[in-house]
Amino acid sequence: MLNNCKIHITYATHHTNLTMFCYKEGLRLVVHTPNFVPNQFINGFRISPPFPALEEGALRTDGESVTNFKQDLIDYLLPYRFCNCSRWAEIVRSHDFSAFCAALICSIPWDHTDEDCEKRGHMKVGSLLQQHSVHVTSPIVAQISSIGSLGPSAQSWLKGEWAASFWGLDQAPEMDRPVKIIFLSEDDARSCTEGWHAGCGLFLSQAKYGVQMWSQSIPHVAK
């Protein structure tokens, strides 16, 4: 069942990388890294084990995992009220996730305030790390497919709020820590399977680059 997702705010794009399949045997999730379109780099995907259906008469709160994965998935689906995702939320509620030990990190294209901020994106990562008292000291290595507005300096957001989340800190550390961003190079696009056409999926405008020249030291190439 395919649904056209309508986003009723100006600056937003529906961009899910999650696919759900419901069988007689249970529910299965597939999370993939980029978009499933021919001209973008496909790095990989993860397929969940099948989640069995709960027994008839089970409570709506039954079948939750220790990581709260089930409720997090429902919270991800419900805001898409314009595209019938509430039906899929009910399907999720009727299945057993209790044996699953993964955490769900997602984002949706709406404004988030107060406690909602810690339910999604990099702030959810930070919240989980702090919850489990995990404080990362190693360099952050992240792969991205586009570069937007990162601020006038590395500390203004990338090495500030964003990096603090992945280090499990409330705020950026006083000492500068390395952040390495893997961004596909000209040679990567030229020599890949699809050739130059694959570069259509990489976004870095000259205008954005021109006002944040500091960012030229951030991209790295995976070896």
pLDDT at 218: 79
CA distances from 154 to 77, 161, 194 (A): 33, 10, 33
How many domains, in total, are found in the chain? 2
What was the pLDDT predicted at 96? 97
pLDDT of residue 73: 94
pLDDT at position 40 is 56
pLDDT at 8: 63
- Determine the pLDDT at residue 54: 95
Domain boundary among 55, 77, 111: 111
Does a structural domain hold residue 175? Answer: yes
- Is 70 in the same domain as 20? yes
- Could you tell me the CATH number of the domain that includes residue 95? 3.30.870.10
Domain around 21 = 1-111
Q: Whose CA is closest to 73, among 47, 99, 97?
A: 97
Q: Would you state the pLDDT for residue 68? A: 93
Task: In whole angstroms, give the CA distance from residue 106 to residue 129.
Answer: 15
Question: Given this model, what pLDDT does residue 156 score?
Answer: 85
State the maximum Cα–Cα separation within the chain, in Å, rounded to a whole number: 60
Same-domain check for residues 51 and 149: no
Check whether residue 87 and residue 15 sit in a common domain.
yes
Three-class DSSP category at 207 = helix
In terms of DSSP H, where are the helices of 57-160?
69-77, 85-93, 121-131
Digitized pLDDT (tens) for each residue of the chain, 223 residues in all:
555 666 666 655 666 788 899 998 899 999 887 665 655 555 678 899 999 999 988 988 899 999 999 999 998 888 776 667 888 899 999 999 999 999 998 887 666 666 777 788 888 999 899 888 888 888 889 887 777 778 888 888 888 888 899 988 877 777 778 888 888 777 877 777 777 776 666 666 677 767 787 877 778 887 7
Whether 199 is covered by a domain: the verdict is yes
Q: Is residue 122 part of a domain?
A: no
Residue 131 confidence (pLDDT): 86
Predicted pLDDT at 13: 61
